[in-house]
Structures are given as structure tokens and as C-alpha cells.
């Protein structure tokens, strides 16, 4: 198995808690939180603002039984929804609802691609957004135009989500795992395989490390705690209602 630098980005979101009650015969959909032609502001910032506007409709739809559950993925710029098969969620929410994640994720991908253009890198890497959402970024010139197949597994080895997309001509890809329960938690394993046609170029994997926090100080934007020795990571913390 080849080695590629995997950076785990740990994102902590304090948001509205939504209970989970599922029934038989349900469908997963994705709703974009970005307009078709978004600005170059950070995807998460744009998504949080739109989510605030959309949240009352989501809560009303859930209360009425038109939605069974929903989960925002701010880094990916979309909301995952779960709804009964006999419900038209687009009519309920007044917004397009996609059963294909790529369609809902496309505006966010366009922003990330524009911001990435012209950059050069010193080290090939894959950045995984742990804890919040289910997205990742790959940057490796050796994988230019390669097909990248990703898999997310929980601690038992059960596959929670998959991804399948093509890196651009510079070797950059911004994508997310499809599925509803794809939050990347400690102990979960991510695996990526790169292909040129049917030829396997490499396999890269990592297990999400655990963090223990002792303090979080909003006034100084600092936190303290412990992390897994030898694992590189960065962290950000936000609150959609601040």
C-alpha cells in the first residue's frame, strides 16, 4: 500500500439537533446550499448563511412528516435529507432536490476549483474533513485525470459511504462521500484508490484519530486537549448562529 500524506481536518459545529426516526421505504436526497453561480467566499460560510434561511422550512417539513431527518454538510455546501418515497421533497421545500450527490455538490466544487487554480504544491496530500460532514480534497500531480474511488467504513468495517469521481488535469479533486450516515468519526477508516482506466495507480488509507478536549474558549478562539501522537491535523470551530 502506497503512502500519501493524509491530513485530517477536524471541524466542530454547534448546530440545531435533529432527532432520527426512520420508516421503511425512504429515499436520501441532497439539497444545495449554494446558488448555481456562487461567489468565491468560503463554501462553509455561504452554506451556513443559506442554511439559516432554509432551517425553518426543514423543521416544518419534518414536523409534518414530509422529511424524516436532515443533516447539513457545510463544507460540502449541501443538506442531506431523508424522506418517504411517496413524498415530493422539492415541492415541500420549494428547492431542487437531487438523488445524485454530485449535482448538489457541483456549486461548491466550482468554488473550490476556482480557488485552487494556479496554485502549486510541495507535498501530495489528501485532506479529510473529520467530524463535520463527509468531504475530502486530494492534491497530487501524479494523479492528474485519474479516477478516484473512495470508501468510508465504520469501526466494524461496514461501508457507510462511497465516492467516485475524476481528478482534474492538475491532480486536484474535491468530493464527498454519498450516503446519509457519512460523518467521519474517530476510528472510522477512509480508503482511496486511484485508477488510470482499469490500472490501479495506488491505494491510500487512514483511520480517523480521536481527540479529547478539556477547554474551548470562544473569547480567544483557543482550545486545549490531547490528540493521537504522530497524526497531523488542523481544527476549526464555528457556530451557525453567531
Q: What is the pLDDT of residue 206?
A: 87
Q: What is the pLDDT of residue 59?
A: 95
Could you tell me if 60 and 114 are in contact, meaning their C-beta atoms sit under 8 angstroms apart?
Answer: no
Q: How confident is the model at residue 233 (pLDDT cuts 50, 70, 90)?
A: low
Task: Give the pLDDT confidence of 179-215 residue by residue, as tens digits.
Answer: 887 788 888 999 999 999 999 999 999 888 877 778 8
Task: Give the pLDDT confidence of 130-155 residue by residue, as tens digits.
Answer: 776 688 888 888 899 999 999 999 99
pTM check: above 0.75: no
Q: Is the pLDDT of residue 21 over 60?
A: no
Q: Is the pLDDT of residue 8 over 50?
A: no
- Radius of gyration in angstroms for the set of CA atoms belonging to the chain, rounded to a whole number: 18
Could you tell me if 163 and 119 are in contact, meaning their C-beta atoms sit under 8 angstroms apart?
Answer: no
* Extents of the domains making up the chain: 15-112
The mean per-residue pLDDT over the stretch 8-27 comes to 45
Burial class (CB in 10 A: 0-12, 13-18, 19+), 151: middle
**Higher pLDDT among residues 70 and 120, named by residue:** 70
DSSP conformation class of 178? B
Amino acid at each position: 500500500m502506497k503512502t500519501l500524506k493524509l491530513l485530517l481536518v477536524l471541524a466542530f459545529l454547534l448546530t440545531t439537533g435533529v432527532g432520527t426516526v426512520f420508516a421503511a421505504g425512504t429515499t436520501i436526497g441532497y439539497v444545495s446550499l449554494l446558488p448555481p453561480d456562487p461567489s468565491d467566499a468560503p463554501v462553509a460560510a455561504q452554506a451556513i448563511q443559506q442554511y439559516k434561511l432554509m432551517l425553518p422550512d426543514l423543521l416544518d417539513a419534518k414536523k409534518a412528516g414530509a422529511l424524516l431527518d436532515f443533516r447539513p454538510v457545510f463544507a460540502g455546501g449541501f443538506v442531506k435529507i431523508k424522506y418517504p418515497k411517496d413524498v415530493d421533497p422539492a415541492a415541500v421545500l420549494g428547492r431542487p432536490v437531487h438523488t445524485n450527490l454530485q449535482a448538489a455538490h457541483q456549486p461548491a466544487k466550482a468554488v473550490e476549483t476556482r480557488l485552487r487554480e494556479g496554485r502549486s504544491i510541495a507535498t501530495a496530500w489528501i485532506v479529510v474533513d473529520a467530524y463535520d460532514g463527509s468531504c475530502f480534497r486530494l492534491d497530487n500531480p501524479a494523479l492528474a485525470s485519474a479516477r478516484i474511488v473512495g470508501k468510508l467504513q465504520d469501526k466494524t468495517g461496514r461501508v457507510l459511504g462511497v465516492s467516485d469521481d475524476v481528478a482534474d488535469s492538475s491532480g486536484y479533486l474535491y468530493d464527498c462521500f454519498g450516503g446519509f450516515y457519512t460523518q467521519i468519526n474517530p476510528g472510522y477508516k477512509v480508503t482511496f484508490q486511484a485508477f488510470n482506466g482499469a490500472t490501479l495507480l495506488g491505494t491510500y488509507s487512514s483511520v480517523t484519530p480521536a481527540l479529547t478536549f478539556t477547554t474551548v474558549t470562544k473569547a480567544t478562539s483557543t482550545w486545549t486537549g490531547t490528540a493521537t501522537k504522530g497524526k497531523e491535523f488542523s481544527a476549526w470551530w464555528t457556530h451557525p448562529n453567531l
